[in-house]
Chain A
Amino acid sequence: GAGVSQSPSNKVTEKGKDVELRCDPISGHTALYWYRQSLGQGLEFLIYFQGNSAPDKSGLPSDRFSAERTGGSVSTLTIQRTQQEDSAVYLCASSSRAGGATDTQYFGPGTRLTVL
């Protein structure tokens, strides 16, 4: 079956602009996660959705970052007033059970964001 998909695959933007990154989880997966991968910080957790609610937003680095999930499926990560330090690969993952410790998170191909 289809895996996690993300769009766009690459995004180049100018400092100060807003960007939206999209994630389509595996069909039927109720849990969705966003991570960020950058050279200096490795792989960092950003936010986790259980259905449409986000019980854990602890990884969002600032109030410029927000995310929503609608219909228990697609999620959008929005970064407002982008800064150069936001440049990274943004990874989305999904798992079949909300927050289930026994569940495996399957990752999408990522969106590479470059802020000029």
Chain B
Amino acid sequence: AQKVTQAQTEISVVEKEDVTLDCVYETRDTTYYLFWYKQPPSGELVFLIRRNSFDEQNEISGRYSWNFQKSTSSFNFTITASQVVDSAVYFCALFFGNQGGKLIFGQGTELSVKP
């Protein structure tokens, strides 16, 4: 079965704390893609990152970093020095080639950053 699990439903931190959002996926495909999207209170899903199954290099973009580990089927997302504007729901998603165009989403993690 193809599945994405985000076990953390809600996380609350104080501004400037680091926070890691967990994502665990299941797939039997050897070729697949993983995504993170941010959904702020305005509601629109904003693309953050795409990673393919053959590239396990970690990626850093400003305060954001992603840790992809095939051995544990995880694709975790860390925000360093969190800010109030980071408050949103974050979704991890899986795409695999034999399922046409659809993304399989996790249930989302609601992050609240308090000043």
Given A102-B33, A104-B35, A104-B50, check contact A91 B100 (CB 8 Å): no
User: Which chain B residues lie closer than 8 Å to A108 at the CB level?
Assistant: 44
Query: Nearest CB to that of B95 among chain A residues?
Result: A101
CB pair B47–A109 under 8 Å, yes or no, is no
Most buried by B among A55, A104, A110: A104
How many residues of B are counted as interface, with CB atoms below 8 angstroms from the partner's CB atoms? Answer: 28
CB pair A43–B101 under 8 Å, yes or no, is no
Judged by a CB distance under 8 angstroms, whether B43 is at the interface is yes
Judged by a CB distance under 8 angstroms, whether A95 is at the interface is yes
Query: Nearest CB to that of A110 among chain B residues?
Result: B43
CB pair B100–A99 under 8 Å, yes or no, is yes
* Bound Cα distance from A91 to B43, whole angstroms: 10
CB pair B101–A109 under 8 Å, yes or no, is no
Given A42-B108, A104-B50, check contact A33 B102 (CB 8 Å): yes
CB pair B107–A42 under 8 Å, yes or no, is yes
Number of A-B contacts (CB under 8 A): 63
Given A101-B97, A109-B43, check contact A45 B50 (CB 8 Å): no
Pick the contact of A109 from B31, B44, B103 — CB < 8 Å?
A: B44
* Bound Cα distance from A56 to B100, whole angstroms: 7
User: Which chain A residues lie closer than 8 Å to B100 at the CB level?
Assistant: 48, 55-56, 99
CB distance from B39 to the nearest CB of A (A): 9
Q: Which of B43-64 contact A (CB under 8 A)?
A: 43-47, 50, 52
* Bound Cα distance from A33 to B102, whole angstroms: 8
- Residues of A at the B interface (CB closer than 8 Å) are 31, 33, 35, 42-43, 45, 48, 50, 55-56, 58-59, 89, 91, 93, 95, 98-99, 101-102, 104-110
- Residues of B at the A interface (CB closer than 8 Å) are 31-33, 35, 37, 42-47, 50, 52, 91, 93, 95-97, 99-108
